[in-house]
Chain A
């Protein structure tokens, strides 16, 4: 019941755009057009729920993730950032809680929950630590998702149970010479025997230090351009695979980001993910979804930064004989910031529900990710100011949230790339 309502809402509440007509037809059969005479019937039994409405299971998940984040992760956040490493127990905890297989089906040892459930979890984790959040995000929305969508039965049976219960995964697309222009990638795969030999390198690969399973995009036919791009599955211990360098970063420092080298890395045929030459389609598809996850990471971050600061302003710090949060100048900034966070969250949740409804969500996802990262940057920056000196020192978490926010404008498509996506869709719609 709840899920069918969920499916209806986004499709009905959005504009009828060319790309949406199928979804509309599918979800609101009551809008019928009759040739000659126009007969319109309206349904009144569709219950629109607020975009923030969570199902019972999503609510329970939110609560346990919040508890887990506060009890287990929070005490380690500062130290992990200073040490630029993830505490092992945090990763173990994520697996134990079932947070590494959120959408993976129960038959493969996963939690069998929805995409929106993953979004809720990513947001809750980011309220406490955006580094842990991105680990969970990449693993779930990119890696596990790619196996679920395109993996053969054998690949699913081999890797999904591991991904759900013990092995972290990475998604390897970017290279030194191809970032935004991802499909200019240079890593080559040459046929050898029953498999392929990969040579090349990848850059900025999230989770690489923790991961055992890597989805690698390489070109099997450079003459065909991007149509030669193919997705391969490698494991850490495959000969020819190595981590060349771990980056030192401005933010999300507990999340590892590495350069990978492939030196005659042999991948057996059965480890080709999906079909040869379809890699670029897979990458586009998965990143479109993934952006909603990054949006959730950013709204969670903004909320975490905001809450951290307002607790201080409204409870702890007094100047001129009163709490600093009593000053109208601060109150209004606090209110405005929260408004912007809620607006960004509305975009994120709407994008997630739109995807769940099976409608086209590319523009919604791009808008959500873009705006959420802008709000996260702005609010976490303001939050530092609201806390004055206490916001600037590395004792608390205010300055960390601000440093962490910057990545939102870069990975899974820079802000310009999101604007490019949005404007292209709009232009198509408005071109005669």
Chain B
């Protein structure tokens, strides 16, 4: 049985229940004064890490380290992660900006942390609900030269191996890989717990290490520039037809038949 040293990257995003609005300049989604919380996929990663610890004997999971690369407020997200059960965290603080770091930049920072902190398992969300890139986990695995299992709906630790079930079109796919590994989480993996009050208090005593991008060898540059962000056009009201004949003639009228 291998001991696991897990890294769980978490991102602070606009709360999933908030309706996003485009800013006046049409350069980004408005973030000022909008409720933020942990990316829902990352909650799954935190939960899965904690469950791995709970499922296996004492020492199997040696350490769960959460990391967030984000604005000052991302510290809140890390505290939530620690209140859910992570042992400690690293906050790589970047200024609050409209433009987000691109997946490759994030993956490179994570790679450095993985190496410095001697991680052998990284559990990430399969995507974050703001930019929906769905790339960070794969890029990280590539940079590290590790195996990857993306979109996990079940994770089973078996000695040196992880067995990961993924939901794919028309069924499930089961893969097995040797540690170290990168796993990304999908919605049906688990039901994340709420941080309980006693655990919120315990999280206060856990370590939150502050870092800056400059502390990493890799210097961040975005390769893409946002030209314009706009809301989808408002839906036009439809018309009602009386019967099937009406429908057919309408479709003909529109040239669809």
**Chain A interface residues toward B at CB < 8 A:** 56-57, 59-61, 63-64, 67-68, 96-99, 101-102, 106, 109-113, 117
| CA–CA, A202 and B94, complex, Å | 61
Residue pair B195, A57 in contact (C-beta under 8 Å): no
**Interface residue B238 (Cβ < 8 Å from any Cβ of A):** no
Residue pair B198, A68 in contact (C-beta under 8 Å): no
Closest B residue, CB atoms, query A121: B197
Q: Mark B187-205, 1 if CB is under 8 A from A, else 0.
A: 0000000111111110010
Residue pair A111, B194 in contact (C-beta under 8 Å): no
Residue pair B201, A113 in contact (C-beta under 8 Å): yes
Residue pair B83, A97 in contact (C-beta under 8 Å): no
Closest B residue, CB atoms, query A93: B194
Residue pair A67, B197 in contact (C-beta under 8 Å): no
| CA–CA, A98 and B196, complex, Å | 6
Q: Mark B146-163, 1 if CB is under 8 A from A, else 0.
A: 000000000000000000
Residues of A within 8 A of B197 (CB): 61, 64, 97-99, 101-102, 111, 113, 117
Residues of B within 8 A of A112 (CB): 198, 201
Residues of A within 8 A of B204 (CB): 56-57
Supposing A60-B79, A60-B80, A60-B83 touch, asked if A68 and B200 sit within 8 A by C-beta, the answer is: no
Q: Mark B79-102, 1 if CB is under 8 A from A, else 0.
A: 110010000000000000000000
| CA–CA, A109 and B198, complex, Å | 8
Closest A residue, CB atoms, query B200: A60
Supposing A106-B201, A111-B201 touch, asked if A56 and B79 sit within 8 A by C-beta, the answer is: yes
Could you list 8 examples of A-B contacts with CB < 8 Å? A56-B204, A60-B83, A60-B195, A60-B200, A61-B200, A64-B196, A98-B198, A109-B198
CB of B43 to closest CB in A, whole Å: 11
Supposing A56-B79, A60-B83, A63-B37 touch, asked if A68 and B201 sit within 8 A by C-beta, the answer is: no
CB of B196 to closest CB in A, whole Å: 4
Closest B residue, CB atoms, query A95: B196
Identify B196's interface contact among A57, A59, A96, A106, CB under 8 A: A96
Residues of B within 8 A of A106 (CB): 198, 201
List the 9 shortest-distance A-B pairs measured between CB atoms, nearest first. Answer: A98-B197, A111-B197, A98-B196, A98-B198, A111-B198, A64-B194, A60-B200, A97-B196, A112-B201
| CA–CA, A111 and B200, complex, Å | 8
Residues of B within 8 A of A56 (CB): 76, 79, 204
Q: Which of B195, B201, B204 has the most chain A CB atoms inside 10 A of its CB?
A: B201
CB of A51 to closest CB in B, whole Å: 20
Task: Classify chain B's interface size.
Answer: 10 to 19
Residues of A within 8 A of B195 (CB): 60, 64
Residues of B within 8 A of A102 (CB): 197
Residues of B within 8 A of A99 (CB): 197
Closest B residue, CB atoms, query A56: B79
CB of B212 to closest CB in A, whole Å: 22
| CA–CA, A110 and B199, complex, Å | 10
| CA–CA, A64 and B193, complex, Å | 10
Given A97-B197, A113-B200, 11 more pairs with CB closer than 8 A: A59-B76, A60-B195, A63-B80, A64-B197, A98-B198, A98-B199, A99-B197, A102-B197, A111-B197, A111-B198, A111-B200
CB of A415 to closest CB in B, whole Å: 32
Residues of A within 8 A of B83 (CB): 60
| CA–CA, A60 and B204, complex, Å | 11
Supposing A56-B79, A60-B80, A63-B37 touch, asked if A97 and B201 sit within 8 A by C-beta, the answer is: no
Residues of B within 8 A of A117 (CB): 197
Residues of B within 8 A of A111 (CB): 196-198, 200-201
- Chain B, range 181-225, C-beta contacts under 8 Å to A: 194-201, 204
| CA–CA, A64 and B80, complex, Å | 10
Residue pair B198, A67 in contact (C-beta under 8 Å): no
Residue pair A57, B200 in contact (C-beta under 8 Å): yes
CB of B192 to closest CB in A, whole Å: 10
Closest B residue, CB atoms, query A164: B198
| CA–CA, A113 and B80, complex, Å | 16
Residues of A within 8 A of B76 (CB): 56, 59-60
Residues of B within 8 A of A96 (CB): 196
| CA–CA, A98 and B200, complex, Å | 10
Closest B residue, CB atoms, query A102: B197
CB of A71 to closest CB in B, whole Å: 8
| CA–CA, A68 and B83, complex, Å | 15
Residue pair B194, A68 in contact (C-beta under 8 Å): yes
| CA–CA, A67 and B200, complex, Å | 15
Residues of B within 8 A of A97 (CB): 194, 196-197
Closest B residue, CB atoms, query A112: B201
Residues of A within 8 A of B80 (CB): 60, 63
| CA–CA, A64 and B76, complex, Å | 13
| CA–CA, A358 and B196, complex, Å | 28
Residues of A within 8 A of B201 (CB): 57, 106, 111-113
CB of A106 to closest CB in B, whole Å: 7
| CA–CA, A59 and B73, complex, Å | 13
